[in-house]
Chains A and B, each alone.
Chain A
Amino acid sequence: MALPVKTAQFLEETGNIARFTGRFFTQWFRPRYEVAEFFRQCYIIGYRSLPLIGLTGFIMGLVLTMQLRPSLVEYGVESQLPAMVAISIVREIGPVITALIFAGKVGSSIGAELGSMKVTEQIDAMEVSGTNPFKYLVVTRVLAATLMLPILIMLSDAISLYGSYLGVNIRGIVSFRLFWTQVFDNLSFSDVLPAFIKSFFFGFAVGIVGTFKGYHSSKGTEGVGRSANSAVVVSSILIFVIDLIAVQITDLFGFN
């Protein structure tokens, strides 16, 4: 029985990504370690994304607070506003929105960069210059993305809550101290931990998909554009899928 072309392509692509991921796991812990390049990538992937992540986080917190207020007022639980916002940001909105923005910025730039290196034979040139390009280009970027995204998400959460503090104070007055007391009193370990753990997986997904699409870019400039584009699309979908799996697992462990 012949599979429909699209299905066959999808399965083949999935298989290739799986093999690529397998290759990552067999190579990342073996010397030689590309330490300098890893830190350079952390700087590019992490530090350079800060302004964007900070801005979107701030707006997210502010807007969410203003949107939630009317319903809470209606039920007379306006005082619970900081707690509501904190829980929704830390558990879900912060990680997912930040990861999606990260996929858009970092995933596409990794896809385009490696894609153009591939089509202009720069990856081959590294290979003949005594470098394992998989380690030098792929492993460093995947590790940097995996480690930087959780940090970015924590920062984004914090900035969101500052935005939310401003939002609370647009109507009505809550002191800075009272706001943070309410936030931390209502956040439990079981809110923070699952969100923290899943953010590593988000980062890993963005890194693997971006490098995979770039590394296997087809020839020509069109191929480069396509790898950048599909890096964003596929990693965004993966982020939602991981989120779905994560919520099932936390549910299973009774973390709710």
Chain B
Amino acid sequence: MAVQEALKIPAQERTTEKEDVVLSVRNLCKSFGKNIVLNDFALTLHAGENIVVLGKSGSGKSVLIKCIIGLLKPEKGEIKVLGKDILELDREELDKVRAKVGFLFQSNALYDSMTVRENLEFPLRRHWIKVSHQKMDELVKEALEDVGLAHTINMMPAELSGGMRKRIALARTLILKPEIILYDEPTTGLDPITGKGIIELMVEIQKKYHSSSIIISHDMNCVKTASDRVIMLIDGRCYAEGTYEELIKMTDPKIKEFFE
């Protein structure tokens, strides 16, 4: 993989820690003023695994993955990503970890002053990745083809529809071939057919690049098709955990609510 080579990551370092845990969160506490959002949350992600985090709106799902990527500082807890403790790293080391972790924003967060091509080139350029012009072009085209939007390369984000924007944002997330991908509601606000397309895409990409991912979603379709394991985030902690089939059989009313 050209990108990983350019980042100078030796192949054996790609999987870290015993039992190939790529990401672990322990005792995570985060509050805003008096609003306690996460309270002693824990999670472990293994290599090649897809976890879906389920939770009501406002339960702190976005806050959780923003803590993982270092956008928010939790009050307490330990977050290990690819063997590195996120809360202890300085900016340079943090950037190195972030180059290996993809993040899909709930609001897409496309740069609206840049074309689609510049949007996709941005992470490549900024992570000091030395690739030739030609190679960069290839990577951009490949990422766009993955999401089936090769023809939009010179358009501005404002000219795209909501679903197309989501797919461009996905392409931008995937262009660095991340080892871990954090998806924040990849299908929300899309029609069921487009949503299904995105889910299939996520599964396909996971197979193609052997990445692991945390997916935040309310979409039962997504939970069913994409998840290896489901984590219920209720009251700021991991309320229940299991495969889709296991959870659907549970009788706890708080869990049942989600699967009706």
| Best-buried of A116, A128, A131 by chain B (most CB within 10 Å) | A128
Q: Are B91 and A129 in contact (CB under 8 A)?
A: no
Residues from chain A with Cβ under 8 Å of B244 in the complex:
none
Q: Are B99 and A130 in contact (CB under 8 A)?
A: yes
Q: Are A128 and B111 in contact (CB under 8 A)?
A: no
A-contact 0/1 string along B164-188, CB 8 Å cutoff: 0000000000000000000000000
Q: Are B109 and A122 in contact (CB under 8 A)?
A: yes
Kindly state whether residue B232 has any CB partner on chain A within 8 Å: no
B-contact 0/1 string along A114-142, CB 8 Å cutoff: 00110011101111111110000000000
Q: Are B122 and A129 in contact (CB under 8 A)?
A: yes
- Distance, CA A132 to CA B90, complexed state (A): 12
Residues from chain B with Cβ under 8 Å of A113 in the complex:
113
B-contact 0/1 string along A46-78, CB 8 Å cutoff: 000000000000000000000000000000000
Residues from chain B with Cβ under 8 Å of A132 in the complex:
91
- Distance, CA A202 to CA B134, complexed state (A): 44
Residues from chain A with Cβ under 8 Å of B127 in the complex:
129-130
- Distance, CA A130 to CA B101, complexed state (A): 11
Q: Closest 8 A-B residue pairs measured CB to CB?
A: A125-B109, A130-B127, A121-B109, A129-B123, A130-B126, A130-B95, A131-B126, A128-B103
Q: Are A120 and B122 in contact (CB under 8 A)?
A: no
Kindly state whether residue B112 has any CB partner on chain A within 8 Å: yes
Total count of chain B residues near the partner, CB < 8 A: 24
Kindly state whether residue B11 has any CB partner on chain A within 8 Å: no
Chain B proximity of A119: nearest CB distance (Å): 9
Residues from chain B with Cβ under 8 Å of A122 in the complex:
109-112
- Distance, CA A219 to CA B25, complexed state (A): 29
Chain A proximity of B135: nearest CB distance (Å): 18
A-B pairs with beta carbons under 8 A, tally: 48
Chain A proximity of B254: nearest CB distance (Å): 29
- Distance, CA A66 to CA B123, complexed state (A): 57
Chain A proximity of B96: nearest CB distance (Å): 9
- Distance, CA A117 to CA B109, complexed state (A): 8
Q: Are B107 and A130 in contact (CB under 8 A)?
A: no
Residues from chain B with Cβ under 8 Å of A116 in the complex:
112
- Distance, CA A128 to CA B128, complexed state (A): 13
Residues from chain B with Cβ under 8 Å of A120 in the complex:
107-109, 112
Q: Are B107 and A128 in contact (CB under 8 A)?
A: no
Q: Are B112 and A130 in contact (CB under 8 A)?
A: no
Residues from chain A with Cβ under 8 Å of B107 in the complex:
120-121
Residues from chain A with Cβ under 8 Å of B41 in the complex:
none
- Distance, CA A204 to CA B98, complexed state (A): 33
Q: Are B112 and A129 in contact (CB under 8 A)?
A: no
Chain B proximity of A103: nearest CB distance (Å): 22
Chain A proximity of B101: nearest CB distance (Å): 8
| Best-buried of B71, B91, B99 by chain A (most CB within 10 Å) | B71
| Best-buried of A113, A117, A129 by chain B (most CB within 10 Å) | A129
Q: Which of B77-135 contact A (CB under 8 A)?
A: 91, 95, 98-99, 101, 103, 105-113, 122-123, 126-128
Q: Which residue of A lies closest to B99 (CB)?
A: A130
| Best-buried of A113, A117, A121, A125 by chain B (most CB within 10 Å) | A125
Chain A proximity of B211: nearest CB distance (Å): 16
With A120-B107, A120-B112, A121-B109 already in contact, the answer to whether A128 and B91 are too (CB < 8 A) is: no
- Distance, CA A194 to CA B251, complexed state (A): 78
Chain B proximity of A38: nearest CB distance (Å): 15
Q: Are B71 and A128 in contact (CB under 8 A)?
A: yes
Kindly state whether residue B69 has any CB partner on chain A within 8 Å: yes
Chain A proximity of B125: nearest CB distance (Å): 9
- Distance, CA A128 to CA B104, complexed state (A): 10
Contact for B123 among A117, A121, A130, CB less than 8 A: A130
Contact for A124 among B95, B105, B110, B112, CB less than 8 A: B105
Chain B proximity of A217: nearest CB distance (Å): 14
Residues from chain B with Cβ under 8 Å of A127 in the complex:
71
Chain B proximity of A17: nearest CB distance (Å): 22
With A130-B95, A130-B98, A132-B91 already in contact, the answer to whether A125 and B111 are too (CB < 8 A) is: yes
Residues from chain A with Cβ under 8 Å of B122 in the complex:
126, 129
Q: Are B91 and A121 in contact (CB under 8 A)?
A: no
- Distance, CA A122 to CA B112, complexed state (A): 9
Residues from chain A with Cβ under 8 Å of B105 in the complex:
121, 124-125
Known: A122-B109, A129-B98. 16 other contacts (CB 8 A): A120-B112, A121-B106, A121-B107, A122-B111, A122-B112, A125-B105, A125-B109, A125-B111, A127-B71, A128-B69, A128-B98, A129-B126, A129-B127, A130-B99, A130-B127, A130-B128
